[in-house]
Amino acid sequence: MYFSGIQPTGKMHIGNYLGAVRNWVKLQQPGNQNIYCIVDLHALTDKLTIDHEIKFDQNTKSDTLSLAATLIASGINPKQSVFFIQSHVPEHAELQWILSCIAPKNWLNKMTQYKDKKKEYSTLGLYTYPLLMAADIILYQAQYVPVGLDQKQHIELTRDYVQRLNSLFKLNIVEPQYLESTCPKIMSLRDGNKKMSKSDAIDGNRINIDDSKEEIFEKIKRSKTDSIPQIYFDQDKRPEISNLLRIYSAFSNLSMEQVIEKYLTKTTVDFKRDLSELIANELNTIAQKKKQILNNQSELEQTLKEGSMKAREIASKNLKLIKENIGLLV
């Protein structure tokens, strides 16, 4: 069973697409059970800003619908995969509470994502974020979790919770495994040592899934490269061009060797133009399908409701088993 999730934070980019979503689509094969979730409760941790005044970003509903349409347009098939919204299945938050009662607090202190994101006024939700993520995975007894490299530590923590549950309560929950795509870490367009990220304040550092052809050409044109005229891969000495080569390879479905051979005698300008064209073509196909899906919002909402009913059937059974074993009256 494959389970994964993505936050509706408004700016899905090609890092999310290549690092996770395209792999989710590939994994939809006969014989595989796939469960994919839009984690709107996780996204709440990203909403609060406290500066001179307290602000709470209210776009979750429209961001959720927009992301659902993007994912279906990218190839997630709700007839083949269980596709749903996290907050429609209350068992997620319920299991999070149970996990918080068996997990030592210091396990959360080592989480790098919390260390990176925490500010002077962080919420408790940001701190306990990994517990909700572990609950997402454990509720479905997922065997594989296809995510980008930045989420690997969370999967390892989930394994620790599973081991603790199993040993404390004689359960037999599956230990989930991190499953990597061919692009586990797409980097920023202007800093090859920094991850492409939704929360990056500079929009030019990433290509958003909703960017227009003109925006894509402009961002790739301005992306950082070095003064060496030849195009070749060298992660350590040339992280920026190596990142663009990886993106090219992923969008063209050519191997790295094939891409390098193709551009051996071409200029960076030629390479960047062709790369822009490749990305723009694929994102344009997604944009066209997404538009059609959003034109029929009630059908989309119905699809998500049906998905959450299927998810709840699995989640409630597994949660009941855990509740019984830990000694609650069910």
The CA-based angle 35-113-312, given to 5 degrees, is 25
Q: Assess whether 213 carries a catalytic annotation.
A: no
| CA dihedral for 274, 15, 149, 199, sign (positive or negative) | positive
Residue 117 or 266 with smaller CB distance to ligand TYM: 117
Asked if 12 and 6 touch (Cβ cutoff 8 Å), the reply is yes
Instruction: Sort 134 into a burial class: Cβ within 10 Å, 0-12 / 13-18 / 19+.
Output: buried
162-169: long-range pairs with CB below 8 Å, 24+:
162/138, 164/102, 164/103, 165/102, 165/138, 165/322, 168/102, 168/326, 169/322, 169/325, 169/326
Least Cβ distance, residue 46 to ligand TYM (angstroms): 9
User: Could you tell me the smallest distance in angstroms from the CB atom of residue 132 to ligand TYM?
Assistant: 7
Evaluate whether 196 touches 14 at the Cβ level (below 8 Å): yes
H/E segment holding residue 93: helix 91-102
Q: Shortest distance, CB of residue 136 to ligand TYM, whole angstroms?
A: 4
| Annotation marks residue 198 as catalytic | yes
What is the spatial distance between Cα 176 and Cα 173, in angstroms, rounded to a whole number? 9
Our CB check for ligand TYM shows the closer of 204 and 266 to be 204
185, 198, 213, 289: the active-site residue: 198
Question: Shortest Cβ distance from residue 5 to ligand TYM (Å)?
Answer: 3
CB 158 within 8 A of CB 127: no
Q: Least distance to ligand TYM from the beta carbon of 133, Å? A: 4
Considering the complex, state which of residue 185 and residue 266 has its C-beta at the smaller distance from ligand TYM.
185
What are the helix and strand counts (H, E) for the chain?
14, 9
Residue (198 or 273) nearer to ligand TYM, CB: 198
Residues of the chain by 3-state class (helix, strand, coil), percent to 5 = 60, 10, 30
Cα Rg, the chain, nearest whole Å = 21
In the complex, which residues of this chain contact ligand TYM (CB under 6 A)?
3-7, 15-16, 19-20, 39, 42, 133, 136-137, 145, 147-148, 150-151, 183-186, 195-196
Q: Which of 11, 47, 117, 323 is catalytic?
A: 117
Catalytic, 289? Answer: no
CB of 6 to ligand TYM, least distance (A): 4
Nearer to ligand TYM, 107 or 262 (CB): 107
Residue closer to ligand TYM by CB (options 127, 273) is: 127
Give the residue among 78, 75, 79 at the shortest CA–CA distance from 22. 75
> Which residues carry out catalysis?
117, 195, 198
